[in-house]
Structure 1
């Protein structure tokens, strides 16, 4: 049995996210954003400029000033696509096992000047604080629970504890404020569990496609298969899920495949943008038109 950290109250812990102007991580300065409207959806200035080629990540943890209202607009459902009809894709990585691919992933993103969002478990943050800090220093950090359980199999009290203890572990390891984004273990969501994390101040951010690279060669995966699955996320507002480690030994296929994934996505005319554009109030205007699309769970 693992030793649990002291339970963090919602008011003092997770819900403090809602009270932070700009959802800034430690050391960040506020910035503003003006909405750019056009086409079927509306996206932030940052998303629009990135889609036009100026692909510079935001400072970690920053968001528009009206982000609290934008966050609440994400409540009530799972998010599997960003609400836009533009040809943009967001890269996300889960961190729940080892950190073998972290350096390679961060180096490739840095070389390309691309943003990504990393969803950490609390256990990962405690076991690999240096890797957690490195990710938080350059990119947004989300919550992936403390110990990666099936939420439907645990009580509401345990569900809250998983979210709160992950939040505390991530803050302790990174010195940063996590984004108000939660991703369920196994992407196993129900209306009840989504409502529970919403009540703690988190939007449920899932994915359009998963490479399944974490399975590794022992699980029948290859770089080529991971790349093929990744292209299922090449839809307007697609969210791609990858992993920075694997559940066993051997190569981290998502890290190895990342350069080819980026090239293939961009060859299809898509730009890679920051998932934090979801916190732009303007982006919520097209939420209803795309909320039902792209609900493609990984196999």
Structure 2
């Protein structure tokens, strides 16, 4: 049974409380060719199943690639329709964004969304109820390393390894720009963490391991 942390329930789940050395790799802002295709090959070679938080507009732009992610057995969550911030938007505007996202996902056969990561990780107080009404769990991350910036693969790996803990949710990016460094970093991250005894899970499966840790401020927890 999933036990919810007593911290502020408005905030996204950042980590799972568990002593088991298991973590979730997540990727934001895709699908994004050619980086998503390359990432899928890396994950297949390493035998790792990840969670992809896809943008609706990108799904429309790359429908075959979205289907490929699903066909490979990876978990898919929503990341809004066009990456506009949802914080402090009126309910009607948020609902419209989510409706467009859902329509984009449905067009490629993805209709069972259970996870959502808002742009910038930001939701205003009360907006979590919108997600709850749609059956969506707000997912954040506790391992955020700035891989969208101009840093190399080794730096990305080192930052992840330094921050990771049992139950960590790691956020990286396959979309939003040139993500070649991230793609190169992923096998390095997997190898380094496996040497430390870690295994990999999807976010959905990770939720079964223990209680959730949420940002007590309900504020920015990833880019």
TM over 0.5: yes
Contact kept? 1:122, 1:145, Cα under 8 Å: yes
CA distance change for structure 1 residues 242 and 178 in 2, over 3 Å: closer, same or farther? farther
Contact kept? 1:160, 1:197, Cα under 8 Å: no
CA distance change for structure 1 residues 159 and 298 in 2, over 3 Å: closer, same or farther? closer
| Residue 204 of structure 1, aligned match among 135, 138, 162 | 138
Instruction: Give the TM-score normalised by the residue count of structure 2.
Output: 0.85
Which ranges of structure 2 fall in alignment gaps of 5 or more residues? none
User: 2:100: which partner in 1?
Assistant: 165
Residue correspondence of structure 1 range 1-299 to structure 2 within 5 A: 76-96=10-30, 98-138=32-72, 139-173=74-108, 175-215=109-149, 217=150, 221-247=151-177, 250=178, 252-278=180-206, 280=208, 283=209, 286-287=210-211, 290-291=213-214, 297-298=221-222
Q: Radius of gyration: which is bigger?
A: 1
CA distance change for structure 1 residues 134 and 187 in 2, over 3 Å: closer, same or farther? same
Output one character per residue of 1:63-82: Cα deviation in whole Å (capped at 9) or x when no partner: xxxxxxx6x96975410012
Superposed displacement of residue 97, structure 1: 7.0
The root-mean-square deviation of aligned C-alpha atoms, in Å, is: 2.6
Contact kept? 2:55, 2:78, Cα under 8 Å: yes
Contact kept? 1:100, 1:252, Cα under 8 Å: no
CA distance in 1, matches of 2:153, 2:123: 28
| Number of residue pairs matched by the alignment | 217
Contact kept? 1:207, 1:238, Cα under 8 Å: yes
Higher mean displacement: 123-132 or 271-280: 271-280
Which ranges of structure 1 fall in alignment gaps of 5 or more residues? 1-41, 43-69
**Greater fraction of residues in helix:** 1
